[in-house]
Amino acid sequence: MENNITENRVMLGKITGFPRWPCVIINENDVSMGDAPDNSKNWYIVQFFNDGKYAWLAEEDLSSYEENVELLAKRNQKEKKLLSAIREADQQLLLKREDPDYCITVNRKRKIPKMLSIKQEAELDETNSKKDEQIPKRKKVNIINIINYEEKNTKRDKEKIGIVVGKGVIVDEFVRHLLIAGFHLNVYNTSFEKWNKLVRKFQHVGNITALLSARAVLEGSTNVFLFFKFETEVDDIINKDFEGDQKTNKIRTKGIINATPVTPAFSNKVEQVIERSEGKYLEMLVLGTKKQAIDATLTLFTSGKRSFFDECLPLFNAFCENGYHIGNAGSAAKIHLLLQMVRGINLAALGNCFSLLPYLGISKEIFMTLLKESNLASTYIIDKAVAIKDKSFTSVEESVSDMDEQLKLCVKMGNSAGHSMSLTNTVLHMFQLCTMKSYGDHDASAVSLLSPYHY
C-alpha cells in the first residue's frame, strides 16, 4: 500500500486473532500511549470504531478502508460488532466528505434511547425537579420498558420488515440502521433505478431483498413502512396493492407504518381501511437533521394504536434516539403540518430580510453576526440563513416543491377547521412562484431568490 497514512484518516487495522477492523489514525500527542514498540518500523496510533480502544499498529498492519471494506463485510456477515464498526466508520466518512475539516470521532458506546409518551415525559420531568428540591420521594413514574433489545429480542434477525418507497424519497440511512440492527428488509421502489441502487449499496451491510411490487413486500413482511411524497400515492398503494376482497386480504395481521406527510382526515381514513382488513396502523413523523439521521439520533412522533407502537419499539430503537406516542391517528399529521407552517413562514421571513438589507445599507455579514447572537439562533434558522447569504441551495434537506405541497396541506387542514390561513396562504404563494421559476428541486431556502416585488 502506498504510504498515505495521515492523521484523521479512516483505515483498516489488523491485530492478531481478529479480522481487519475499521479505525482512525490519531495524533500521538492527543493520547497517552507511551513510546512505539520499536524503531525498526513506521508505527501509528489508531482508535478502533465500535469500542473506542487505542493501539500502536505498524504500517504493514494498516490497509485502505475504501478499497477493502466491501469484501471485509461480505466475509464477516455474522460479526455484528464488526458490521457496527463499519457502519460507524461509514457515517464518519460521510460527514468528512461534506466537511473536509471535520474531525473523525469514535463513539465508545451508544446509550439506549428514551421512548416515552409526552405525558410520561412531563411526569418524569416533574418527578426529577421535585427530587432536586429534596422533597420526599414519590412513587416512580411508569416508564415504558426499554431494556436492552439486543438481549431481549434474540429472534429479531428473523423478522422481515418491508419498505415501499416513492420517487424522490431518500431512505438510505433508515435502511442502513435497520440492517445493522439485524432486520431482514424487503424493499420496493417505484423508481427501478433507485430500487436497484439501494440494494447494491447495502447488500454487504445486511439481509436486503428487492421485490417487484408493493404487494410482494406486504406478503413477505411483518410490518411495512410507506415513504412517499404525496398522500395520493399512499391511497393508491393501500387500495390497489394492499387491500383485496375477503379471500385475497393481504393486510390481515400486518402492520402499516406511514411516514408520508398527509392530512389528519386522510390518516384517519387509512386507519379505518386497514383496521377493517384486520391490520394495524401507525403514522410516523421523524424530526432531525441529516447528521442526526446518520447518527441514529432522530426524534420520532407516532400516533395510532398504542399497542402497535409498543410492538414497534425495537424497530424505532434502531434509527431514533427519542420516540413519542401522541394519541390517535391524525395527531402526528397535525403536529407535522403545524411545524411545516413554522418552517415555511420563517424561511419566507428570512428571504424578505435578506432582500431588504441592501436598501437599508446593512451588510449580510453584520446581519448574520447579530442573528447568531439573538435568541432566534436555532440550528435550523442559522443553517438556512447561511444558505440564503451564500446563495447555496444545492444541499437539499427539503425542496421548494416539497414545501409547496406541505403548505397546501396546512391550508387544507386550516380550512377544514374553519380557520383563516391568510399568512400561510401568502407564504404558499411565494413557494408556488418559486416552483414555477424552476427552483422546485432546490432547497426550500431558495424561496429567497424571488425578486422583492413578488412579495
pLDDT (average), residues 148-177: 66
Q: What pLDDT band is residue 110 in, cutting at 50, 70 and 90?
A: very low
Whether residue 146 has pLDDT greater than 50: no
So what's the pLDDT on residue 256? 93
Give mean pLDDT, residues 334-349. Answer: 90
Query: Is pLDDT at 140 greater than 50 in this prediction?
Result: no
Rounded distance between C-alpha atoms, residue 130 and residue 124, angstroms? 10
Q: What is the mean pLDDT of residues 118-143?
A: 44
Q: For residue 452, is pLDDT > 80? A: no
The pLDDT of residue 215: 87
54 with 71: CB under 8 angstroms? no
Extract the C-alpha cell encoding 35: 513510546
Predicted pLDDT at 21? 92
Q: What is the pLDDT of residue 168?
A: 61
Confidence of residue 349 (pLDDT cuts 50, 70, 90): very high
Mean pLDDT of 15-26: 88
User: What is the per-residue pLDDT for 147?
Assistant: 28
Q: Is the pLDDT of residue 345 over 90?
A: yes
Residue 149 has pLDDT above 60, yes or no: no
The mean predicted confidence, pLDDT, of the chain is 80
3-state secondary structure the chain: CCCCCCCCCEEEECCCCCCCEEEEEECCCCCCCCCCCCCCCCEEEEEECCCCCEEEEEHHHEEEHHHHHHHHHHHCCCCHHHHHHHHHHHHHHHHHHHCCCCCCCCCCCCCCCEECCHHHHHHHHHHHHHHHCCCCCCCCCCCCCCCCHHHHCCCHHHCEEEEEECCCCCCHHHHHHHHHCCCEEEEEECCHHHHHHHHHHHCCCCCEEECCCHHHHHHCCCEEEEECCCHHHHHHHHHHHHCCCCCCCCCCCCEEEECCCCCHHHHHHHHHHHHHCCCEEEEEEEECCHHHHHHCCEEEEEEECHHHHHHCHHHHHCCEEEEEECCCCCHHHHHHHHHHHHHHHHHHHHHHHHHHHHHHCCCHHHHHHHHHHCCCCCHHHHHHHHHHHHCCCCCCCCEHHHHHHHHHHHHHHHHHCCCCCHHHHHHHHHHHHHHHHHHCCCEHHHHHHCCHHHC
Q: What is the pLDDT of residues 306-324, one digit of tens each?
A: 999 988 888 888 888 888 8
Quick: pLDDT tens for 31-48.
777 778 777 888 999 999
Looking at residue 108, its pLDDT comes to 58
Query: Is it the case that residue 201 has pLDDT exceeding 70?
Result: yes
The yes-or-no verdict on residue 390 having pLDDT over 50 is yes
Stronger pLDDT, 455 or 291, i.e. the higher one: 291
Instruction: Catalogue all structural domains in the chain, each as residue range(s) with its CATH number.
Output: 10-98 (2.30.30.140), 128-329 (3.40.50.720), 338-454 (1.10.1040.10)
Q: What is the pLDDT of residue 63?
A: 92
Query: What pLDDT sits at residue 344?
Result: 92
What is the per-residue pLDDT across 202-238, written as a single tens digit (0 to 9) for each?
888 888 888 888 888 998 999 999 998 888 888 888 8
